[in-house]
Amino acid sequence: MKVLTVVGARPQFIKAAPVSRALAAAGIAEILVHTGQHFDPEMSDVFFTELGIPAPAINLGIHGERHGAMVGRMLEGLEAAMLEQHPDWVVVYGDTNSTLAGALAAAKLDVPVAHVEAGMRSYDRRMPEETNRVLADHVSRLLLCATETAVANLTKEGIVAGVHHVGDVMYDAALFAAEAARSSTVLDRLLLTDGSYDLATLHRAENTDDPERLAALMAWLEEQSRTRPVVMPLHPRTAAVLKRHGIEARGLMLCSPLSYLDLTRLLAGAVSVFTDSGGLQKEAYFQRKPCVTLREETEWVETIQCGWNRLWRGGPYAPRREIADYGDGHAAEKIAALLIREADQDARRRNT
């Protein structure tokens, strides 16, 4: 059995790592294809080393273009890779352009698609990520959901076959990283101590593409820094937009993008988190840190309902309780088992 896995962005490397280990443990061959969407060494190469997974077998090197051009080039490159490798399954993650291109290329070639983190919805079609995840779900055969809310979202869209609540692979990754991050020296490098700062990240297009909104968010973060220092690893896109529009980051401790283990260690020592990242919202919960999501909505509604997260312009935190939906740290093993089960059923159908 051979699986072709499509990744392209930092969050996907994190999600793919525990699944890659589970596939290997189950005896499933994996061809890892990197589209190149995140290409800086700090945003790409270091993740494979830190997360203990092999470097990609194929790197398409596609980045820095508008959405249509990027997806088109990825479709072409991924189709060629699939025709060369003849995978039994294609696995895609989350909601990036790489996700959409991988799902469409596989569907056109009649290769079954497994979508990890299926069913997530913000219900904001202005977000390119929302379009990507909806389209990927509708061409997938296995829809591997992190939460029961995701299952319900798919049911509302008429998707019920192949839907499984497996838990969140990012929780699997977080458990792995928490131990490995103990060796990180990031606090010493930034002259920080545990419990003395907050952590902020900002990168989504709906924030960075609107200078007025970005300026308002930076002003809000400056206001938070009056309570305690706010450390902000600066995404390359955000840095470029701030410079282009002359928006100042007053009062913030800016630093370069961090590796996953350094960011995990920085999160562990933070008091609070301010972010527009879907992944960091959940990682904040995994470390039991209160979070403010710098958006008007979130796909991860459980973090809001259970009092660990609130929206930037929303109300106060709800009463705090634990979140059971994200699973027990074995989501990746469940995904590997489902792929094997589906392959066995396909083989029986061919033989009858």
What torsion do the CA atoms of 337, 341, 86, 6 make, to the nearest 10 degrees?
-40
Per the domain annotation, does 54 fall within a domain? yes
- The CATH number that applies at residue 210 is 3.40.50.2000
- In this structure, the answer to whether residues 164 and 292 fall within a common structural domain is no
Q: Is residue 90 classed exposed, middle or buried when 0-12, 13-18 and 19+ CB atoms within 10 A define those classes?
A: buried
- In this structure, the answer to whether residues 332 and 267 fall within a common structural domain is no
- In this structure, the answer to whether residues 13 and 151 fall within a common structural domain is yes
- In this structure, the answer to whether residues 41 and 159 fall within a common structural domain is yes
Distance, CA of 314 to CA of 243 (rounded, Å): 29
- In this structure, the answer to whether residues 183 and 126 fall within a common structural domain is no
What pLDDT is stored for residue 162 in this prediction?
98
Task: Write out the residue range of the structural domain in which residue 275 sits.
Answer: 177-311
- In this structure, the answer to whether residues 21 and 150 fall within a common structural domain is yes
Of 86, 203, 235, 330, the catalytic one is 203
- In this structure, the answer to whether residues 191 and 153 fall within a common structural domain is no
- In this structure, the answer to whether residues 15 and 70 fall within a common structural domain is yes
Closest CA to 280 of 264, 296, 304, 265: 264
Per the domain annotation, does 316 fall within a domain? no
Whether residue 85 has pLDDT greater than 70: yes
DSSP designation for 62:
-
What pLDDT is stored for residue 41 in this prediction?
55
The string of pLDDT tens digits covering residues 31-53 is 999 998 765 655 556 777 788 78
- In this structure, the answer to whether residues 104 and 34 fall within a common structural domain is yes
Question: How many structural domains are present in the chain?
Answer: 2
Whether residue 61 has pLDDT greater than 80: yes
Per the domain annotation, does 322 fall within a domain? no
3-class SS of residue 35: coil
The string of pLDDT tens digits covering residues 231-269 is 999 988 899 999 999 998 889 999 998 988 999 999 999
Is-catalytic flag, 203? Answer: yes
Per the domain annotation, does 53 fall within a domain? yes
Distance, CA of 94 to CA of 152 (rounded, Å): 17
Per the domain annotation, does 275 fall within a domain? yes
The reported pTM is: 0.90
What pLDDT is stored for residue 10 in this prediction?
84
